[in-house]
A and B are shown apart, each in its own frame.
Chain A
Amino acid sequence: MLEQGNIHLPEGSIEKQTTTLNLGPTHPATHGVFQNILEMDGERIIKAESTVGYIHRAFEKLAERRPLNQITTLTDRLNYCSAPLNNMGWHLTCEKLLGVKTPKRVDYLRVIIMELSRISDHLICNSIVGVDTGAYTGFLYVMQYRELVYEIYEEVCGSRLTTNMGRIGGFERNFSDVAFQKIEKFLAEFPGVWKEFENLFNRNRIFIERTVGTGAISAERALNYGFTGPNLRAAGVDYDVRVHSPYSSYEDFDFIIPVGTTGDNNDRFQVRNEEIWQSLSIIRQAYQKVQAFKGTEADVYHADAPEYYLPAKADVYTKMEALIYHFKIVMGETEIPSGEVYQSIEGGNGELGFYLISDGGRTPYRLHFRRPCFIYYQAYSEIVKDTMLSDAIVTLSSLNLIAGEMDA
């Protein structure tokens, strides 16, 4: 047996030893495919390096060969927790380039859908923060209300996750009575459940101690890093695209922008919670506005843009113009005016921008997505430096990183 005295280690070597830890690419805590190489001193992170691009699908290149209506399916797969938001953002970009003016009813219907998807996005993020701090129940409990949101999508467009919802100029069909009933059901049932969810966390000592003061970023650093959305607002900057550059008639609605103060995990959680309440209020207002349309106005669900909006099937069989437009749209033969347009919307994670350049051909000459996730994820190494590993996990989920959006 070896005697303790026989082992001669250099002075201070154990203190100096660090461990390299791979957090990802397929780690349950990353909730997506990306890697963080952490240099650990015990449980403390000395250095973090992020690697992304594992699910890069070359959307920008693909978009250069696709007519506008086929690009909608690509935008679904950016932030797949709130696909309709991306769809609407893309339609708004096209409408801006093509000069299509949407009727008010379409705007309000879009607002309903966009706010529903914002709720489902924040709902996932906040309940995942719960999961990562050890509270699984909340996640499972609110999941049934995401299901209800998905049922509304299903009623409106036929699909659930990657929705491909709407068209340039409006929706593919009018909202059915069932869709409105489901929206009413959601508005009636969800607030009580969300209140319960909030109480579960805000009165939970473990959760508060895990989130307050961890993963903080100052407003100045956040702006310098190009943060937008809830993560920027948690740091105390009241920048919201819906208010600063209103689109889809957001100027008709009354809502407040919640802001935090310290930009830590708890502030991000609280800002998202409050945004859910604001979204609910916006949906209620929009629902009332939609219900106020009577007679023929209540049947309006798309703009009058025959060159870009697919005609009704019955018309295709009976009318010459409709047949021509049908053919041109389906075959992607419609030439789009040349121009350069930047349109952004308030996505689930922040400013989702579309930079579209057209040279007058049938497809975009160049399309660039400003993906909020990709831009704010670079701050992660700075945020988690000198923190504990367990805090880094919570920070990761409270930043709401969606790999699909990051890698495009």
Chain B
Amino acid sequence: MSLTHDTIKETLAAQFGDKILGWEESYGMLSFTIQPDHNLKALTFLNDDPAMGFQFLTDLTAVHYPDRKGEEIAVVYHLHNLRENVRLRMKLYVPIEKPDVYTATGLFSGANWMERETYDFFGVNFVGHPDLRRVLNVDEMDYFPLRKEFPLEDQTRIDKDDEMFGR
């Protein structure tokens, strides 16, 4: 295996410089945060560059962090270089008032439904997506259910004391 985490770091840092906002390595997977408007550039570079070869989009999803003001929604991409068998995670944070992210459907056909799912649950607006509709929830739904402001349990219930058994 020749493609090490250090190589990926150096190549990406040389290409994008200060557009990369942070590096992290958790449980063996390298992860980086990039400026939201550079997601497509980074994906294209990782896809096209022969030394990188991250041509397989494993997963695409989002996370809602209500406490991070101005960057509440994190969009997470899991990429895989199948030849070298290296996985890479790319993150970007967008404000909840304007969650605009460029679509990856031009690069990966598989991103189509993954982005629709992310839109469906978090309301991330994938700019340039050919068919950005809800995919799992009903079309009439007017909110994005996986955001943290929607608690799972009925708030009028009083028989469950969150003080003691709260989760």
Interface residues of A (CB under 8 A from B): 52-53, 56, 58, 60-62, 64-67, 96-97, 221, 223-227, 237, 239, 244-245, 331-333, 339-342, 344, 351, 353, 355, 357, 361-363, 365-366, 368, 370, 374-379, 382, 407-408
A225 engages B109 (CB within 8 Å): yes
Q: Could you give, for residues 37-70 of chain B, a 1 whenever the CB lies within 8 Å of some chain A CB and a 0 otherwise?
A: 0000000000000000001111101011000000
Instruction: Please name all residues of chain A whose beta carbon is closer than 8 Å to the beta carbon of B85 when the two chains form the complex.
Output: 244-245
Task: Find the A residue at minimum CB distance from B26.
Answer: A340
Task: Give the contacting residue for B58; candidates A52, A365, A370; CB below 8 A.
Answer: A370
B82 engages A362 (CB within 8 Å): no
Count residues of chain B with CB under 8 A from any CB of chain A.
Answer: 38
Contacts A97-B27, A223-B55 given: A375-B82 contact, CB under 8 Å? no
Task: Find the A residue at minimum CB distance from B56.
Answer: A223
Assembly CA distance A97 to B27 (angstroms): 8
Task: Give the contacting residue for A378; candidates B82, B109, B145, B146; CB below 8 A.
Answer: B109
Q: Shortest CB–CB separation between residue A135 and chain B, in angstroms? A: 32
A341 engages B167 (CB within 8 Å): no
Contacts A61-B146, A97-B27, A340-B27 given: A407-B136 contact, CB under 8 Å? yes
11 contacts between A and B (CB under 8 A): A60-B146, A64-B152, A244-B82, A342-B87, A344-B58, A353-B58, A366-B63, A366-B64, A378-B113, A379-B109, A379-B110
B58 engages A226 (CB within 8 Å): yes
Say if the beta carbon of B10 comes within 8 Å of chain A.
no
A378 engages B58 (CB within 8 Å): no
B61 engages A368 (CB within 8 Å): yes
- The residue among A331, A357, A361, A378 with the most chain B CB atoms within 10 A of its own CB is A378
Assembly CA distance A366 to B66 (angstroms): 13
Assembly CA distance A342 to B63 (angstroms): 14
Q: Could you give, for residues 95-115 of chain B, a 1 whenever the CB lies within 8 Å of some chain A CB and a 0 otherwise?
A: 000000000000011101110
Q: Could you give, for residues 102-132 of chain B, a 1 whenever the CB lies within 8 Å of some chain A CB and a 0 otherwise?
A: 0000001110111001000100000000000
Contacts A61-B152, A226-B57, A341-B27 given: A53-B136 contact, CB under 8 Å? yes
Assembly CA distance A224 to B150 (angstroms): 34
Nearest 5 A-B pairs (CB), nearest first? A226-B110, A53-B136, A56-B136, A368-B61, A370-B59
Task: Give the contacting residue for A340; candidates B31, B56, B112, B138; CB below 8 A.
Answer: B31
Instruction: Please name all residues of chain B whose beta carbon is closer than 8 Å to the beta carbon of A332 when the two chains form the complex.
Output: 165, 167
Task: Find the B residue at minimum CB distance from A368.
Answer: B61
Number of contacts between A and B (CB, 8 Å)? 102
Contacts A370-B58, A407-B136 given: A224-B108 contact, CB under 8 Å? yes
Q: Shortest CB–CB separation between residue A220 and chain B, in angstroms? A: 10
Say if the beta carbon of B137 comes within 8 Å of chain A.
yes
Assembly CA distance A223 to B110 (angstroms): 9
Instruction: Please name all residues of chain A whose beta carbon is closer than 8 Å to the beta carbon of B113 when the two chains form the complex.
Output: 374-375, 377-378
Task: Give the contacting residue for B112; candidates A221, A333, A378; CB below 8 A.
Answer: A378
Say if the beta carbon of B21 comes within 8 Å of chain A.
no
Say if the beta carbon of B8 comes within 8 Å of chain A.
no
Assembly CA distance A339 to B26 (angstroms): 7
Say if the beta carbon of B76 comes within 8 Å of chain A.
yes
Q: Could you give, for residues 128-148 of chain B, a 1 whenever the CB lies within 8 Å of some chain A CB and a 0 otherwise?
A: 000000111110000001100
A225 engages B167 (CB within 8 Å): no
A65 engages B121 (CB within 8 Å): no
A58 engages B145 (CB within 8 Å): yes
Q: Shortest CB–CB separation between residue A399 and chain B, in angstroms? A: 14
Instruction: Please name all residues of chain B whose beta carbon is closer than 8 Å to the beta carbon of A382 when the two chains form the complex.
Output: 109
Q: Shortest CB–CB separation between residue B19 and chain A, in angstroms? A: 22
Q: Shortest CB–CB separation between residue B159 and chain A, in angstroms? A: 16
Say if the beta carbon of B149 comes within 8 Å of chain A.
no
Say if the beta carbon of B5 comes within 8 Å of chain A.
no
A53 engages B137 (CB within 8 Å): yes
Q: Shortest CB–CB separation between residue A363 and chain B, in angstroms? A: 5
Instruction: Please name all residues of chain B whose beta carbon is closer than 8 Å to the beta carbon of A66 when the two chains form the complex.
Output: 167
Other than A52-B135, A61-B146, A226-B109, give 8 A-B pairs with Cβ distance below 8 A.
Answer: A221-B109, A339-B26, A340-B31, A351-B58, A355-B76, A370-B78, A374-B113, A374-B117
Assembly CA distance A363 to B162 (angstroms): 14
Instruction: Please name all residues of chain A whose beta carbon is closer than 8 Å to the beta carbon of B134 when the two chains form the complex.
Output: 53
Assembly CA distance A357 to B91 (angstroms): 13
